[in-house]
Structure formats: structure tokens, C-alpha cells
Structure 1
Amino acid sequence: MPTLVIFVALAIILTLVLAVIVLMPWLRVDKSAQNNQLIVLNIEVFKERLEELKADYNLGGMSEAEFKTQKTELERQLLLASDDKNSLILDDNLDTDLAHNGHSSSAIAKAQREQRFTRSAKARLTILICVPILMIMAYFLSGDRTAVTNLWQAQDKVGQVADDLLTGKIDAPPEWATEDSIGLMGAIQTNVHHHAYDPMRWMRLADILMAFEANDQALEAQSRAYRLSPEDEEVAVAYAQTKFFTSGGMLDSSSREALQNVLRKNPEHQGAQMLMAMGEARSGNYEQAQAWVERLRQGIAARDGDHSEALNSLNELSRNIAQQQQAALQAQTSGAKSTTDSAASAQSVAVTVTLNKSLDSMVEPSDILFVTVQEATGGAPLAVKRVPATQLSSAVSGFNIELNDNDAMMPTHTLSKAMAEGKSLVVKARISKSGQAMTASGDLEATDLPLEYQGVAGDLKVALEINKQVP
């Protein structure tokens, strides 16, 4: 049954129950109404007998004491004949007489109001029908519920597909389910939140978000999976890896701690060792990085089978780390900035970054400047550098920076390799207000610049101006 139909049916039932509870005192049957005719008859008889008593008293047929005694007896009989307080409702002359016998005027007035109010079955039925209708109309008319109804429709249509994706029953959704990608994504997220304590669903959600290049959301999903199951090696390594790539190839305290916990339990975990090697290299701890590479090499070599491709990749990573270390040593001895090592890359990209004067006041000391080269289709940067944004704001004629293979986040994902394959590349520059590699609202950025390198000999030179703020 469609979710919308279920919702409306349950809403009507709940509204009816609440309406009955709230209106129960008003809906209660007034038993006095059933005896109205008898009460009226009793009153008429009482009036006639009272008139007779008054006539006898006026003619001297009885004393004043006898008149009062018989009148009181008539009133008592009338009250006993009435089943409820509505029997007190008499005409104005009788009200005066009853007031003399201990009945307060407020009690008499209240009884009069209640007796005049007649509750018919038609009125009760009208209330029970109108209240639910008005409440449902108020729900749908008080705001735009299109997003809610669209989500319900998506859950009815692709809810099972979303569950199969998150539980690993299928690796990719069927073609018909991808026609409404927004609906499918909504169904996936709703499914995860319905199973909020399942770390594997959060991990699969992170993988899906990474495929859509929603890196911030993917990192949050991985973080939740890690908090739910910090002892799971697969979860911990996946979290550290996502954190590593979304932080510009740097290991922060949380990702480093996750990897160290994995290695304490399983010292031969190759995924954790590789991340530690790349993280230490990016942090400038070259000796530790080489030590991790050597541990990886020994572990792979000790396994049965042909692992020449993996060993070649490790050798390439080791050479890359050695070149970075050599460049860093040269920069220290010469007092100059790190320059491109010609043995590391066939080409370098020299980038001059300037800041539009209108944005000068928006740069704060804690801001970070990211300059990257990456494929036009997206993905992890081929080369990235991270420097304090104050260096840019203090530069008179622009801030100069060079990018090459030494700035690669992964040894097999380099600038020279992408150029050799003829891929379309873009150069980006952004000032991050949060210090994170991912773009966020409030950041300052330049328009992406396509990198024209085909047929160009030697180093490439480009210029970017940071001239807009991310909304």
C-alpha cells in the first residue's frame, strides 16, 4: 500500500480518536432531555397546585404557617420527581420561590443554560467529520509538502533497491531505478537513518556519496560508521582513507589514531601501512615513510605468488619519497623555496595566484590557501599545495607556487602520468576558511583554469585570480 495512503488513513484515525477524547464531555448524552416532557408536566401540575394554595391562603382558608408548610412540600415533591438538576429550570416566578428555599441564583441560572442547550445527533456527527477534514487541510495547506510526498513515492518505488545496495545484495542499481537519482538518494539516506546503528550501511552510504563527489557528506558518513564500530579494521581503515583524501593527503590526529589502533591489532595490515607511508611523506617525515614502505615490501615479498606489480609500485613510491626528501634538503641549505626535481617530473606547473582587492578584508590569519591540479572530470588532485593564506595577501605582485609530481597525493596518480595520457586538466585556487580541503560556504576561490599543456615544452606558467566567494 502506498505510504501516502497509509499516512492519511492513520492521520484520520488518530484525529478521530483525539476528537472523541477532547469532545467527550460535549458528546455525552443528556439524559435530562429524555425526560423534558415529564419535567414540563410536573412543573405545570406544581404551578396549578401552588395557585390553589395561594387562593386558599388569600381567602383565609389556611394560616401563613400552613401555607408555607404545604408550599415547601410541593417544592420537595417537584425536586424528587426530577431526575437531574435540569428540573430546576422553571419560569421567573418559580425561580424566586425556589431561591427562598436555599437554591442559589447561580445554580438556577446554570441549570437554565444547560437545559436550553440541546445536543442533537446531527451536530455530533458534523463535528466528528469536520474536525479530521480541517486538521488534514491544515497540515497540507500550512506548508509545501511536495518534498515529503516525493520522498514517500521514492520509498515506495526504489526502497527495496536502496536496501539491497546498502546490504551488499547488489553492487549497482538497475537502470530504471536511476531515472530519478534524487529519489533514489533520498531513499538510501532514509534507509540508513532507519538503521542508524548499522556501521556497514553508513560505510556503503559513504561509498555512494564519494561516487557523487559529495566528499564532505561521505566523510561524515564514514565518521559515524567509525564511531559505531571503532574496533572493526575495515571500518577504521576506510574512515582513515576517506579522511586522508578529503584533507589534502594529510593524516590528522583522528585518522592517525584509527590507523595506529588497526596496526596494534594487526601489524601486517597493508592498507593501514600504505596510508601511514603516504601520510608521513606528506607530513615531511620521510624516514618514517620509507620505514613503512620497507615493511610493506617485506610483507608482500613473503607472500606466495607473483607480486611484481605491487613491488614496482612500492619502488616508485620509495623513489618519490626520496626525491621529496632531497628537494626539502636543498630548500633548507639554499634558503629558497622547494623547486621541481627534473628527475621526478617531466613538467612542472608554475602558478601565480593573486587576490582581488575587494576580498582583502575577508582573509583571516587562520585561512589556508589550496592550489591544485586535477582532472577536469573530478577526483583526487594530481598535485596539491597547502600554504597559509596570509602569504597570498601579503604578496605585492601575486604569490608564486610550483606544482609537480612531488606534490602528488598518491604515487600512481601523478601530474606527469596524467599529461602523458593526454587527460584534460584544470588548475584551481581556493582560500579555505575552515582549513579543510573540501569546498565550503564562505570560502574564496578563483574560476577553474583549463591547463593547456599539449605541445608546450618546459615548465607551464598560469595565473589565477581569487575573485569570488562560495555562496
Structure 2
Amino acid sequence: MPTLVIFVALAIILAILLAVIVLLPWLRVDKSAQNNQLIALNVEVFKERLAELTADYSNGSMTESEFNTQKTELERQLLLASEDKNRVVVDQGSLNSDSTNAALLKAKREMQVTRSGKARLTILVCVPLLIVLGYFLSADRSAVVQFWQAQDNVGQVADDLLTGKIDAPPEWAAEDSAGLMAAIQANVHHHAHDAKRWMRLADIYLAFEAVDQALEAQSRAYRLAPEDEEVAVGYAQTRFFASGGMLDSSGRRALQTALQKNPDHQGAQMLMAMGEARAGNFEQAHAWVARLKEGISKRDGDHSAALNSLDELSRSITEQQQAASQQAANDANPQVDSTQSITAQAVAVTLTIDSEIAKAVSDSDTLFVSIQQQQGGAPLAVKRLQAKDLVNAKQGLSVQLSDNDAMMPTHTLSKAMSAGQELVIKARVSKTGKAMPASGDLVAADSKLDYQDSEQQQVEVNMNIDQKLP
């Protein structure tokens, strides 16, 4: 049965119950009012009979003793009629008073007012109907209705995707991507303690390049199942790339947890090697590469391609180590020509910021400068700096990017430039400190890197941050 029909039916039932509870005092028969009306009617009859007796006595049709006897009998009958609810003593004076006459007139009017069954039925129907109409008319409920429709149409498809029964949605389900995504999110929240569903949700987010949402989903999965090595490694990997190729404390802790359970997990070992190299811990990076080689060599089959890739990774780490050592030596001896420490594939970026835009920069903001392929993908080189240094640099902030700033040792700036790839430089001040752009970030226009015809050891680029993301 459609969710909308179920909701409307339940809403009507609840509205009827509420209407009955609220209107029950009004619907209940007022017995006290009926008793009062009956007493008033008896008093009126008593007055008429008493008037007849008085007229007969005046005409001489009865003696005084007969008149008193019949009058006493009428009074006794009136008292007996009202004894159950009201003990009323009516005398001749009160019967002839104006207040008694007014009470009788009021009783007559009350007797004329009746509560018909149609009126009660009308109230019971109108109140629930008005409540339902008020719910739908007081605000736009189209989003809720669309969500219910998506649940009915693609809810099972979402469950099959999250449980691994199917790898891709049918074409008819993929046509309503927004509805399918809403159904997937609702399914995950309905099974909030299933770590596998959170991981699959993260994979879907990553397919749409929603890195922040993917990280949140994976962090939930990791909290639910920290002992699951695949969950831990997947979470660490996403944090690694989202942090610009840096292995932060959370990612490192997740990898250590996975390696404690499975010391030979190659994915965790590779991430540790790249993270240590990116952090400048080159000896530890070489040690992780050596462990990877040893583990692969022990496996049956031909693994020459994997071993060659690890050899290339090891050479890249060695080059980074040598470049870092040379840079440290140059810093210790400023008289040495600084260009000797820069590889032939290095980029020197001079950053400035618009004076009005600079007013929006706070001390906690982060500056990202990166180089990546024009068609997109992971950065070839990236640096993360404090944005306040840019604001305080009166002549502009100088930033040098080279292979030392690569996120992955095998995905470097020098290789891309040697291959003649089209590259762009990006500069952004992040308000959140995250690698992905967000609303409110301050950015510079992307600058195409023109290096093919350059004969210098480094390519110089000037950029100005003068825009704010909506």
C-alpha cells in the first residue's frame, strides 16, 4: 500500500480520536439539564392545576377543606417528582412570583433546543477533515510526498544496492537520481547500526565527489566496526586524499588498528608508506615499502608488475629525500644559489589577495595551493599554509611547488610535465580547513601553467585571490 495512503488513513484515525476526546463533553447527554427541564415542566403543570382548583373554590364548587386537601396532594406529587435530583419546596407565593415565571420560560426555551444526530455527525466529520486539510495547506508538503513516492518506487532498489545484491541500479531507477539518493539515505538511517551500509553510502558519495559527506559516512562506519580492517583502511584512505595527501592522526590510528589485526594488509601498508613519505619520514616510508615487497614476493604467481611499481615508488621516495636534504642544506647556507635546490619541474607561485577580500580572512583559515591536471583528478602537488601569512605578506606570499609536495609518490608534477599534460594552478582560502571547496571560501581564478616553452629551472606564476564562492 502506498505510504501516502497509509499516512492519510492514520492521520484521519488520529484526528477522529482527537475530535471525540475534545468533543466528548459536548456529545455527552446533559442529564442535569433534562432533570431541570422536567422539574420546570412539573411546576408548570402544578400551576395550571392549582389555578383550576382556585377557580373552582372561588366559584363555590368546592369547600375550603376540599380545596386544601387537593392542593396538598398536588404539592406532594410535585415533591415526589423532583425528589430524585432536586428537593424543591414550592409554595403559593413562589408560584406566583416573577422569578418562577422567568424560570418556566427559560425551561421552555431549553426544551426546544435539541442536539440532533446529524449535527453531531457533521462535527465528527468536519473536525478531522479540517485537521488534514490544515496539515497540507499550512505549508508546502510536496517534498514529503515526493519522498514517500521515492520510497515506494525505488526503496527496494536502494536496499539491494546497500546490501550488495546489485552493483548498479536499473535504468528506470537511475532516471530519478534524487529520489534514489533520498531512498538510499533513508535506508541507511533506518539501519543505522549496519557499518557496511554506511560504507556503501560513502562509496556512492565518492562517486559524486562529495568527499565531506563520504568522510562522515565512513567515520560512522568506523565507529560502529573499528575492528573491521576494510572499514578502517577505507576510512583512512579517504581521509588521506581529503587532507591533501597527509596522513592525519585519525587516519593513522585507523591504519594501525587494521595492521594490528592483519599485519600483512597491503592497502594499509601502502597508505602508511605514502603517508610517511609525505610527512618527511623517509626511513619509515622505505621500511613500509620493503615490507610490501617482502609480502608480495612470498605469494605464488607472477607479481613482477607490482614489484616494479614498488621499485618506482622507492626511487621516488629517495628523490624526495635527497631534495629535502638539499633544501635543508641550502637553508643552512643561504649563500648557495637557491635555484640549485629546485628541480627542473618546479613552480614558484606569488600569491596576493584583494584588500576587500582580505577582510574576510580569519586567523583559523587555511590556504591551499595546488597543481592538477586540467581535466581534474587528484592534485599533483599541494601545499597547505596558514591564510594569515598571505594577508600579512605585503609583497605577496611566495609558494614553491615540486615533487616534494606530491600527494602520492607515483603521481608527481615532474611526470606530468614530462608527459606534456595541461596543468592548472589553484589557490583557495578555506574557511573550514577542508580540501574540498565550500561556500564562503575565497579563491583565485585558475591559472593555466605555461611551462612547455620555459627554459628556466622553475616556472613563475602570479595569482590574486579576489573572489568568494557563493
Tell me which interval the TM-score lies in, with the shorter structure as reference length. Answer: 0.7 to 0.9
Maintained 8 Å contact 2:349/2:462: yes
Partner of 1:466: 465
Alignment of 1:243-392 (within 5 A): 243-335=239-331, 347-392=345-390
Q: 1:129 aligns with which of 125, 136, 143?
A: 125
> Could you tell me which amino acid in structure 1 is paired with residue 12 of structure 2?
I
**Offset of residue 33 of structure 1:** 9.2
Distance 1:70 1:98 in 2: 24
Distance 2:324 2:369 in 1: 19
1:239 is the counterpart of 2:235: yes
**Offset of residue 455 of structure 1:** 5.8
Alignment of 1:111-150 (within 5 A): 117-150=113-146
Partner of 2:19: 19
Distance 1:57 1:291 in 2: 133
> Could you tell me which amino acid in structure 2 is paired with residue 358 of structure 1?
E
Distance 2:65 2:234 in 1: 109
Alignment of 1:425-440 (within 5 A): 425-440=423-438
1:154 is the counterpart of 2:157: no
Distance 2:96 2:210 in 1: 81
> Could you tell me which amino acid in structure 2 is paired with residue 279 of structure 1?
G
**Offset of residue 244 of structure 1:** 1.2
**Offset of residue 386 of structure 1:** 1.0
- TM-score, scaled relative to structure 2: 0.84
Secondary structure in 2 aligned to 1:251? coil
Deviations 1:284-336 (A, max 9, x none): 22222221111111111111111122222222222222222222222222117
Secondary structure in 2 aligned to 1:397? coil
CA gap 1:166/1:375 in 2 versus in 1, 3 angstroms = farther
CA gap 1:341/1:271 in 2 versus in 1, 3 angstroms = farther
Deviations 1:12-37 (A, max 9, x none): 22212222222222223456899999
Stretch deviating more after TM superposition (56-65 or 277-286)? 56-65
Maintained 8 Å contact 1:339/1:402: no
Maintained 8 Å contact 1:430/1:445: yes
Maintained 8 Å contact 2:40/2:107: no
CA gap 1:356/1:342 in 2 versus in 1, 3 angstroms = closer
> Could you tell me which amino acid in structure 1 is paired with residue 76 of structure 2?
E
Stretch deviating more after TM superposition (301-310 or 419-428)? 419-428
Q: 1:397 aligns with which of 395, 398, 407?
A: 395
Distance 1:442 1:53 in 2: 100
Q: 1:77 aligns with which of 64, 77, 80?
A: 80
Unaligned runs of 5+ residues in structure 2 are none
1:172 is the counterpart of 2:168: yes
Partner of 1:443: 441
**Offset of residue 382 of structure 1:** 2.1
Partner of 2:406: 408
Stretch deviating more after TM superposition (129-138 or 438-447)? 438-447
Secondary structure in 2 aligned to 1:362? coil
Secondary structure in 1 aligned to 2:155? helix
Maintained 8 Å contact 1:372/1:385: yes
Deviations 1:127-160 (A, max 9, x none): 1221122112211111111211222222222222
Q: 1:61 aligns with which of 59, 64, 76?
A: 64
Maintained 8 Å contact 1:247/1:438: no
Maintained 8 Å contact 1:313/1:411: no
CA gap 1:375/1:111 in 2 versus in 1, 3 angstroms = farther
Identity of aligned residues (%): 64
**Offset of residue 451 of structure 1:** 3.7
> Could you tell me which amino acid in structure 1 is paired with residue 409 of structure 2?
P
Deviations 1:200-251 (A, max 9, x none): 1110000000110111111000011111111111111111111111111122
Distance 2:464 2:205 in 1: 30
1:196 is the counterpart of 2:206: no
Maintained 8 Å contact 1:43/1:78: no
**Offset of residue 74 of structure 1:** 3.7
**Offset of residue 67 of structure 1:** 9.9
Deviations 1:402-421 (A, max 9, x none): 32333221233333444556
CA gap 1:352/1:3 in 2 versus in 1, 3 angstroms = same
Q: How many residues align?
A: 456
> Could you tell me which amino acid in structure 1 is paired with residue 433 of structure 2?
G
Stretch deviating more after TM superposition (121-130 or 208-217)? 121-130
Maintained 8 Å contact 2:43/2:78: no
CA gap 1:64/1:217 in 2 versus in 1, 3 angstroms = farther
**Offset of residue 38 of structure 1:** 7.5
Distance 1:256 1:114 in 2: 85
Distance 2:97 2:378 in 1: 96
Distance 1:450 1:95 in 2: 111
> Could you tell me which amino acid in structure 1 is paired with residue 229 of structure 2?
E
> Could you tell me which amino acid in structure 2 is paired with residue 233 of structure 1?
E
Stretch deviating more after TM superposition (454-463 or 368-377)? 454-463
CA gap 1:133/1:417 in 2 versus in 1, 3 angstroms = farther
Stretch deviating more after TM superposition (167-176 or 369-378)? 369-378
Distance 2:44 2:311 in 1: 117
Distance 2:188 2:179 in 1: 14
Distance 2:161 2:132 in 1: 35
Stretch deviating more after TM superposition (396-405 or 417-426)? 417-426
**Offset of residue 469 of structure 1:** 2.3
Measured on the aligned residues, the alpha-carbon RMSD in Å equals: 3.8
Unaligned runs of 5+ residues in structure 1 are 100-104
CA gap 1:334/1:122 in 2 versus in 1, 3 angstroms = same
CA gap 1:65/1:7 in 2 versus in 1, 3 angstroms = same
